[in-house]
Structure 1
Amino acid sequence: MHSNQRELELLGTGGCHLCEQAEEILKTLQRAGCPFRYRVVDIACDDALFERYGLLIPVLRGAAGEARWPFVEEEVLALTGEPAA
């Protein structure tokens, strides 16, 4: 990972259409050149995450905090520390 690249977590679960929409936002920003990586975390595999986020997914977490759905590109960029376009 590049030193200026940020790591985000997309909390969701399989079969969640909103989670798929959230991931599309992340992919679109990456294609546009935004320097961040993300990983998808399935909350169904973690009891504590499921209890905390079960009704809130998708949720995007980063070093700067978290954004709950519906989030927009500007919120994603804020979590990565990138300025909005």
Structure 2
Amino acid sequence: MKIQFYTKPDCELCEEAERMLHLVAEDYPLEWQTINIEEDDEIHEKYMLMIPVIEHEGQVLAYGNIGYIDILELIEQ
């Protein structure tokens, strides 16, 4: 599964979610593109109150406090 991971610098929730992505990717086929919302005004406007955000094929799958189990459930759908 390939996802987009929306984040921004100095975001503790984002850092924790990315650690969880790495843990899941150790055991499951998971790839992601990290996108800094501060580099694009439109994306910033869209996600500034939601980050971190996991998106797949244009659909938001998870946002906010994202844990290991949350990511695992997304992959197993």
Give the TM-score category using the shorter length: 0.7 to 0.9
Displacement of 1:7: 0.6
User: Matches of 2:25 and 2:37 in 1, distance apart?
Assistant: 24
Larger Rg: 1
Q: Is residue 79 of structure 1 aligned with residue 74 of structure 2? A: yes
Query: What is the aligned length?
Result: 76
Instruction: Output the TM-score relative to the length of structure 2.
Output: 0.83
- Tell me if structure 2 keeps the 8 A contact 1:62–1:79: no
- How far does the alpha carbon of each residue in 1:16-36 deviate from its partner, in whole angstroms, 9 at most, with x for none? 1111001000001112x1101
Instruction: Output the TM-score relative to the length of structure 1.
Output: 0.76
Which consecutive residues of structure 1, in runs of 5 or more, have no partner in the other structure?
1-5
Q: Is residue 13 of structure 1 aligned with residue 13 of structure 2? A: no
- Choose from 4, 26, 29 the match for 2:24: 29
RMSD: 1.7
User: Matches of 1:23 and 1:38 in 2, distance apart?
Assistant: 10
Identity %: 28
Q: Higher helix proportion, which one?
A: 2
- Choose from 44, 47, 51 the match for 1:50: 44
Higher relative contact order (CA 8 A, sep 6+): 2
Matched residue type, 1:69: G
User: Matches of 1:23 and 1:71 in 2, distance apart?
Assistant: 9
